[in-house]
Amino acid sequence: SVFDSPFFDQHEYVVSHCCPESGLKAIVAIHNSQLGPAIGGCRMYPYTSGAAALDDALRLSRGMTYKSALAGLPLGGGKSVIIGDPRRHKTPELLKAMAEFINTLNGRYITAEDSGTSVEDMAIMRRTSRYVLGAENLQHIGADPSPYTARGVYLGIRAALAWRGEGDLSGKRVAIQGAGAVGAALCRLLLGAGAHVFVADPDTRRCEALQALGAVVVPVDQVLFWEADVLAPCAMGGVISPATAPKIRATVVAGAANNMLVDGHLADLLADRDILYVPDFAINAGGIMAVYSQYNGETLAELERRLETIPDALNRVFALAESGVSTHVAAERLAAERLGVPVSGPLRR
Ligand code: NAD
């Protein structure tokens, strides 16, 4: 049941929906809407069971609450998941049914794209529901939040290096895992700042495009352990595990990948090795900031000012961590403080 899930954390509202005509099977989880409407992406994934989909919705919606709270946004945390293979099961009828499902929540939950859904899918859903963002080029912000996530990560990497007294990016070595929407944009920003960038992606075409700009392509199975100043995981979650953490050679870990730690306690292991771990949900808030700017009708200049607050939030996290907690726990505490709730423990994957 919802209450038995290891990821249940006093969620406010969890609702499932099944539409046999379109094949839709989906869950919306609203974790907390104390600070505002719950905004979070709509993920489509071939979950092997309903329980796995529920766990993901509960875990991700909690993460959104903490991310928005720490970013200073007047938003709550929510997430939706569609059970199915996006390549085989995604149809306009299914997306319309999902939008109708979201309408039943009357704006308590607002969605945008996520893994397995795209800007084009959001445009289809937007025809049926006004509670769908990430579909239009509003205020010159563009529908895709990825460039803003990359910009936030870039600013965060600079802040982390400055915190360690290592100066600016010029001549620094940064290893990026994943040359997708965020990783590629981050690579371009870093190259522009004079960094030496190493990049790995199983999609070799993506790497080749960045190689042409000056990045060095490295093997996928070695990128996490590359000799570098900064490791930027920008592929999938769970890459920092008890097996990989002891082998990381970078002195700063700062990337976009959500839930990159298999377990929040790994932040302690990294700290013990004198590696500055920049909490994922703090540094990758540029995407939700862009979605919020669309929602709030803000201009690009206002969004850019908001992105510039990411280093401030990180500096607060780093300062609190000096009291002897990991940066991960420090970020959770600062977010919980804004929510006025006790911290229930490190964010689990
Ligand atoms: P994406 O799907 O565009 O790119 C991911 C890339 O990682 C792909 O090119 C894929 O081939 C590559 N990849 C997969 N396995 C790999 C491996 N083992 N080694 C190296 N590369 C591998 O995704 P994205 O939008 O760039 O997002 C990247 C990460 O950032 C995800 O974890 C996502 O949840 C997170 N994130 C993204 C945003 C956003 O705005 N897009 C916002 C917040 C967090």
Among residues 146, 150, 93, the alpha carbon closest in space to that of 118 is found at 146
CATH tag for 2-135 (out of 2.30.30.100, 3.40.50.10860, 1.10.10.10, 3.60.15.10): 3.40.50.10860
Ligand 1 within 6 A of CB of 146: yes
Mean pLDDT, range 111-127, rounded to an integer: 93
What atom in ligand 1 is closest to the CA of residue 146?
A: 40
Q: Give the residue from 237, 229, 223 showing the smallest Cα distance to 281.
A: 237
What are the DSSP E strand ranges found in the chain? Answer: 13-19, 24-32, 38-39, 42-45, 76-83, 109-110, 173-177, 196-200, 216-217, 230-233, 252-253, 276-277
**Is the CB of 50 inside a 6 Å radius of any atom of ligand 1?**
no
Pocket test of ligand 1: the residue of 146, 187, 197 to mutate, having most ligand atoms within 8 Å of its CB, is: 146
Q: Model confidence at 142, in pLDDT bands (50, 70, 90)? A: confident
Question: Residue 122 Cα, ligand 1 centroid: separation in angstroms?
Answer: 19
Tell me the torsion sign for CA atoms 199, 203, 205, 206: negative
CA 62, CA 2: separation in Å to the nearest integer? Answer: 14
Minimum mean pLDDT among 15-24, 111-120, 281-290: which range?
111-120
Nearest in space to 224 (alpha carbons), one of 242, 205, 200? 200
C-beta of 183 in contact with ligand 1 (< 6 A): yes
Q: Is 79 a catalytic residue?
A: yes
CA of 90 to the centre of ligand 1 (A): 20
- Cα distances (angstroms) measured from residue 101 to each of 6, 27, 106, 124, 144: 26, 9, 10, 14, 23
Among 114-118, 208-212, 282-286, the minimum mean pLDDT is found in 114-118
Provide the pLDDT confidence category of residue 140 given band limits of 50, 70 and 90: confident
- Atom 31, ligand 1: which residue's CA is nearest? 257
Q: Which of 25, 79, 90, 172 is catalytic?
A: 79
Domains 2-135 and 146-284+314-331 equal at CATH topology level: yes
Q: How confident is the model at residue 97 (pLDDT cuts 50, 70, 90)?
A: very high
d(CA 6, CA 239): 20
pLDDT at position 186 is 98
Angle at 210 between CA 209 and CA 213, to 5 degrees: 105
3-state SS string over 25-77? EEEEEEEECCCCCEECCEEEECCCCHHHHHHHHHHHHHHHHHHHHHCCCCCEE
What is the C-alpha separation between 53 and 137, in angstroms, rounded? 31
Burial (CB < 10 A; 0-12, 13-18, 19+), residue 193, is middle
Query: Ligand 1 pocket: which of 42, 56, 149, 262 to mutate (most atoms <8 Å of CB)?
Result: 149
DSSP class of residue 202 equals: S
Residues 6+ apart with CB under 8 A from 212: none
- Give the model confidence (pLDDT) of 155-181 as tens digits: 999 999 999 999 999 999 999 999 999
Q: Are 14 and 80 in contact (CB under 8 A)?
A: no
Q: What is the pLDDT of residue 134?
A: 79
More confident residue, 265 or 345: 265
- pLDDT tens digits along 275-316: 999 999 999 999 999 999 988 989 999 999 999 999 999 999
Mean pLDDT of the chain: 94
Question: What is the ipTM metric for this complex?
Answer: 0.99
Architecture of domain 146-284+314-331: 3-Layer(aba) Sandwich (3.40)
The domain limits of the chain are 2-135, 146-284+314-331
Q: Which atom of ligand 1 is nearest to the CA of 256?
A: 30
**Angle, helix 286-295 to helix 146-163, in steps of 10 degrees:** 130
- Indicate which residue's Cα is closest to atom 35 of ligand 1: 257
Query: Does the pLDDT at position 28 exceed 80?
Result: yes
| Burial grade of 211 (CB within 10 A; 0-12, 13-18, 19 or more) | middle
Task: Give the Cα separation of 86 and 89 in Å (integer).
Answer: 6
